[in-house]
A = this chain, B = another copy of it.
């Protein structure tokens, strides 16, 4: 496996486009399109929120009934959530327009929206945008990058990655892009993410691989504990790498899964690091757990705690808040047995807690470690052998500014 340049257009047969449709933002692209030369099998994971945006309802139906997909149309600025029948009608109109301009069937178009809830889409601008997107489709790597920029809302960086891997006798590619960065929380994280691969794999295995992978990547990040109405993760496979369809969970499947995981972990971490107002990435590793669930619940509780997140922002080794957040995670453990370290790339590890109480650590060194761009917290429960890792960010003045001053 090897990381290569590019994102959603790295895999064979995938094209992308972007345009400034003027939906909400001025002077920037706010619509993107993904198009595959060949029809795709598709796997999808969607928000668990009871309130589901219209495009989520649209996509879910198509992914579940196993329709072949040719294109995805994405807009930023308005979420098309809480928009009633009109919102669903706009989904239909958008898909119809894309189907017409691309000469594909309406049911082979998926949709995704992100932005403010409760507003109706300016459908005229959307359909005008689709004309421009269709004209602009390109298989260049830069077309993927521009699409990744067009779907941003409060993100400060675009997020994309691609890798190649060997399986079934061919060199296949998987690439992806995503956007965060508020309303980000496990189950499933508040985000839009689009993955494309030319690897030929059955619909069943595609969905299985994605569903399992999400548990350890996108569902292990949190920015603010708010699970959005629009979370959408799509994985499109057009089979153009040329291998025979993979239908068994063999070593070839493992190669695919590893490549997929590399892409999703990178995107998930990028989202956490670029959380609204964030100044640093917080990685929490739980070791020595009895089972996976215990480890995951504890890791997620720590990265979700406002008090932990503000302490990390303040470079304050307030480990008591970490133990406190573990204590209300909803799973049991033995507080008197916990060992805890903080770690950064430059300054190595520092043990703060041994057997549940403070070590005689240097506050100065602790502050130095916490000042790094990525801070790791490692907790050993000393009960069993399972582990879990979760990613979050600090909670800062800018988070308040972004969310109190603007309607996002």
Q: Interface residues of A, CB < 8 Å — how many?
A: 64
Which one, B82, B328, B357, contacts A358 given CB within 8 A? B82
Find out whether the CB atom of A50 lies under 8 angstroms from the CB atom of B326: yes
Find out whether the CB atom of B224 lies under 8 angstroms from the CB atom of A307: yes
Which one, B228, B327, B358, B401, contacts A51 given CB within 8 A? B327
**Which B residues touch A323, using CB under 8 A?**
51, 82, 117-118, 229
Do A319 and B118 contact each other (CB < 8 Å), given the known contacts A49-B328, A307-B182?
A: yes
Q: Give the shortest distance, in Å, between A247 (CB) and chain B (any CB).
A: 36
Does A132 lie at the interface of the complex (its beta carbon under 8 Å from any beta carbon of B)?
no
Stretch at the interface among A32-40, A62-70, A309-317: A309-317
Find out whether the CB atom of A310 lies under 8 angstroms from the CB atom of B84: no
Does A403 lie at the interface of the complex (its beta carbon under 8 Å from any beta carbon of B)?
yes
Smallest CB gap from A405: residue in B: B314
Among A50, A313, A396: residue with most chain B CB under 10 A: A50
Does A407 lie at the interface of the complex (its beta carbon under 8 Å from any beta carbon of B)?
yes
Find out whether the CB atom of A49 lies under 8 angstroms from the CB atom of B306: no
Q: Give the shortest distance, in Å, between A353 (CB) and chain B (any CB).
A: 8
Do A229 and B83 contact each other (CB < 8 Å), given the known contacts A116-B320, A311-B404, A405-B314?
A: no
Find out whether the CB atom of A50 lies under 8 angstroms from the CB atom of B226: no
Find out whether the CB atom of A400 lies under 8 angstroms from the CB atom of B403: no
Q: What are the interface flags for A107-122 relative to B under an 8 Å C-beta threshold, 1 for contact and 0 otherwise?
A: 0000000001111000
Q: Give the shortest distance, in Å, between A331 (CB) and chain B (any CB).
A: 8
Which one, B81, B187, B313, B357, contacts A83 given CB within 8 A? B357
In the bound complex, how far is the Cα of B405 from the Cα of A329, in angstroms? 25
Find out whether the CB atom of A310 lies under 8 angstroms from the CB atom of B50: no
Q: Say what secondary structure dominates the interface of chain A.
A: loop
Q: A364-400: which have CB < 8 Å to B? A: 395-397, 399-400
Find out whether the CB atom of B310 lies under 8 angstroms from the CB atom of A404: yes
Find out whether the CB atom of A310 lies under 8 angstroms from the CB atom of B399: yes
Do A404 and B313 contact each other (CB < 8 Å), given the known contacts A79-B320, A225-B306, A327-B227?
A: yes
Does A332 lie at the interface of the complex (its beta carbon under 8 Å from any beta carbon of B)?
yes
Q: Give the shortest distance, in Å, between A302 (CB) and chain B (any CB).
A: 11
Does A324 lie at the interface of the complex (its beta carbon under 8 Å from any beta carbon of B)?
yes
**Which B residues touch A397, using CB under 8 A?**
397, 400-401
Closest 9 pairs (CB-CB, A-B):
A117-B320, A314-B404, A51-B327, A310-B403, A49-B327, A227-B328, A50-B327, A118-B320, A84-B357
Contacts A51-B324, A224-B307 aside, 16 further interface pairs with beta carbons under 8 A come to A48-B328, A50-B332, A52-B327, A82-B323, A82-B358, A84-B355, A84-B356, A118-B319, A119-B358, A224-B306, A225-B304, A227-B324, A227-B328, A229-B323, A306-B399, A314-B405
